[in-house]
Structure formats: C-alpha cells, structure tokens
Amino acid sequence: MPAAPARDPRFRPFRIAAYALYLVVVSGFSLLVIRSVAGSVVTMTPKPLPPAEVTLSVRECLQRAEGLFGEMQREHAKLLDTLPATNSDDVWNEYRVGWMKRYREAEAACALHSQARVHIRKVYDRLSLVMDLYTTAAVQYAGEMGGAVDGLLASMAEAKKDPSSGTLP
C-alpha cells in the first residue's frame, strides 16, 4: 500500500483557513437549526400559567375539560378532510398552539395542584396526553398516508379528465 503523499508546508495556512471556514459554516448552520427547533418547541408547548385569582369550581373545571376534549375531537375529525393531506400536520399544529393556550388557562383557573382536586388533575393530565397522541397521529397521517391520499385524489381527478373514460356508472 503506497504511503500518503506528504502535505506541502506552503499550503498549511490555506488548509487551516479552509478548516476554520468549514467549522464556522457548520457551527452557524447547526446553531440556526437548534434555534429553530427550540423556538418551535417553545411555541408548541406554552409554559403553565400561574394560578388564577379566581378558582373555578370542580364542576366548571370538568365542563372546561369536556369542552376542550369535544373541540379536539371535532378538529381531529376535520383533519381527515384537509387537502392536501400532506399538510394536515401543519393544520393540526397550528390548531394545537391555540388549544394549548386555552388548556393552560383552564389549568390555571382550576387549582390543579390542590390536594382536594386530585381527580380533576388526573382529568387534565389525561386530556394533555390525548392531545399529544392526536398530534402524533396527525404527523403520522401526513407523513405516512398523506402522499398516498394526495396521489389517489390526483389520479382520480386525472382519470375524470380523460375523454376516453366515458361516464362512470
């Protein structure tokens, strides 16, 4: 096996400059990606609010949780009608940000850290879990099925334009 050629010492400053430029570009790009991801995470998951001045009753807290869940169910059902299907995760994530703000407001108004409200805290914890699972489902639908659904709809539209197909029974 031949030995590696010796590096010419005259070009050492240029090699150092090339390595330095490479490190600056890669570091800059990495920092931009990290900043973007961190900003996205902060936007998607607002921090809990401080306890509200007025605490809602247990019944009112349960009604708010039921309202948030019903809203989530309706929005999830509409998700399947989103076109193009590959954008359904974007639509869901936009909805999720507003929903999380309303969730945090309800959470703050319900004094969930009180020992007397353990059952309501469990309701809100599970409500948050369901939102996380629906978010995962939306991302999976858009990524795994979205392309196939969009392709199917496009091929159906193309087939309808074909004059030789005649009328469908």
pLDDT of 166 reads 60
Q: Which domain holds residue 108?
A: 55-154
pTM across the whole model: 0.71
The reply to whether 16 falls in a domain is: no
The reply to whether 31 falls in a domain is: no
Residues 96/43, Cβ–Cβ less than 8 Å? no
Of 105, 75, 107, 68, which is closest to residue 89 (Cα–Cα)? 75
The reply to whether 28 falls in a domain is: no
The reply to whether 118 falls in a domain is: yes
Can you tell me the distance from the alpha carbon of 110 to that of 56, in angstroms, rounded to the nearest whole number?
5
Looking at this protein, which amino acid is placed at residue 147?
Answer: G
Structural domains of the chain, count: 1
Four-residue CA torsion sign, 146, 149, 150, 151: positive
Could you give the C-alpha distances from 129 to 37, 69, 100, 126, 135, in angstroms and in order?
A: 21, 11, 12, 5, 10
Can you tell me the distance from the alpha carbon of 91 to that of 121, in angstroms, rounded to the nearest whole number?
28
The answer on pLDDT for 26 being more than 80 is: yes
What is the average per-residue pLDDT within 7-22?
91
pLDDT one-digit tens code per residue, 39-85:
877 777 778 888 888 888 999 999 999 999 999 999 999 888 888 88
The reply to whether 127 falls in a domain is: yes
Where do the H-state alpha helices sit in 45-112? 58-79, 88-109
pLDDT one-digit tens code per residue, 109-151:
998 888 888 999 999 999 999 999 999 999 998 888 888 888 8
The reply to whether 5 falls in a domain is: no
Those residues whose C-beta lies under 8 Å from the C-beta of residue 51, and which sit 6 or more positions away, are 108, 111, 113
Residues 86/146, Cβ–Cβ less than 8 Å? yes
